[in-house]
């Protein structure tokens, strides 16, 4: 039997990696602001190994700010605690924010230039115009 899964959209883990530094004149371009028109909260299987290994690769501050700006930070702590690997409750909160809050439509905003990158059907369009290169 083939089960069609819930539709895939942009996750906050991806947002944590994206920057507008590729634009001309932008020095840092991170983190990008989020304007979310349509958000979807789904349920995915919790994988504690994945979450605990991905945390050191994140910019924690940017993650919290992003989740908070779209109203989905829940009770995720603003500071990353020590010894999180064994704190399953904490890992589950991180899992939720990273993978279960998806942006279907909206915009990513460059913090320096204000340039908006549209997100539609869960896909952010980061292509630049000729004059922005």
Partner 1 sequence: MLRSIDHLYLIVSTGKDINLQEKDSALSSVEKLIEFPNWNKVIDIWRSVSKFKGKCFPSKEEYLEASLKETSLKQIVQDLWKEREVIEVTEKQHVDKESTVCGGHKFKDKRNELKQSIMRKIDRKSMYRNSDQRLEEDKVLKFRMTCYRSGNHCVTSQEVACSLGGKLQEKFNWIVDLVNHDLEVVTNIREDLVYLGISLTPDSLHRRNIINFGPTTLRATVCYNLLRLASPNPGDIILDPLCGGGSIPVEGAMALPGCYNMAGDIHPMAISRAFENIQNMRCERKGYIDLSHWDVTNLPLRNACVDIIVTDLPFGKRSGSKQNNQNLYQKAMLEIGRCIVPSGRAVCLTWDRANLTRTIRAYGSLWSIVRIATINLGGLQATAYVLKRGLESLDTILEKLQKRKRRK
For tokens 């990273």, the residue is 98
Of 22 and 78, nearer to partner 1 (C-beta) is 22
Only segment of 10-18, 63-71, 74-82, 83-91 that touches partner 1 (CB under 8 A): 10-18
Q: Which of these, 42, 52, 49, lies nearest to 5 by C-alpha position?
A: 42
Q: By C-beta, is 13 or 35 nearer to partner 1?
A: 13
Q: Any bridge partners for residue 118, and if so which? A: 107
- Single out the residue of 90, 99, 107, 115 in contact with partner 1 (rule: CB under 8 A): 99
Residue 75 or 101: which CB sits closer to partner 1?
101
Q: Rounded to 5 degrees, what are φ and ψ at 47? A: -125, 100
Both tokens of 1, joined, read 């039997």
* Residues 34-73 within binding reach of partner 1 (CB under 8 A): 44, 47, 49-50, 52-54, 57, 59
The span from the CA of 89 to the CA of 102, in Å, is: 21
- Asked if residue 131 binds partner 1 (CB under 8 A), the reply is no
Please name the residues in contact with 39: beta carbons below 8 A apart, sequence gap of 6 or more.
Answer: 70, 72, 101, 102, 103, 104, 106
- Site residues for partner 1 per CB under 8 A: 2-5, 7-8, 10-11, 13-14, 17-22, 30, 44, 47, 49-50, 52-54, 57, 59, 99, 117, 121-128, 133
């Amino acid at each position: 039997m083939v089960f069609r899964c819930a539709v895939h959209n942009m996750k906050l883990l991806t947002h944590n990696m994206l920057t507008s530094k590729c634009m001309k004149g932008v020095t840092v371009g991170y983190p990008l602001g989020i304007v979310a028109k349509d958000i979807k909260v789904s349920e995915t299987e919790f994988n504690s190994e994945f979450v605990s290994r991905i945390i050191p690769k994140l910019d924690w501050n940017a993650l919290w700010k992003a989740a908070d700006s779209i109203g989905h930070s829940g009770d995720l702590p603003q500071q990353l605690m020590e010894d999180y690997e064994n704190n399953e409750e904490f890992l589950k909160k991180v899992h939720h924010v990273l993978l279960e809050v998806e942006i279907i439509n909206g915009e990513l905003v460059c913090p320096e230039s204000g340039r908006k990158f549209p997100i539609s059907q869960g896909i952010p369009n980061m292509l630049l115009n000729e004059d922005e290169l």
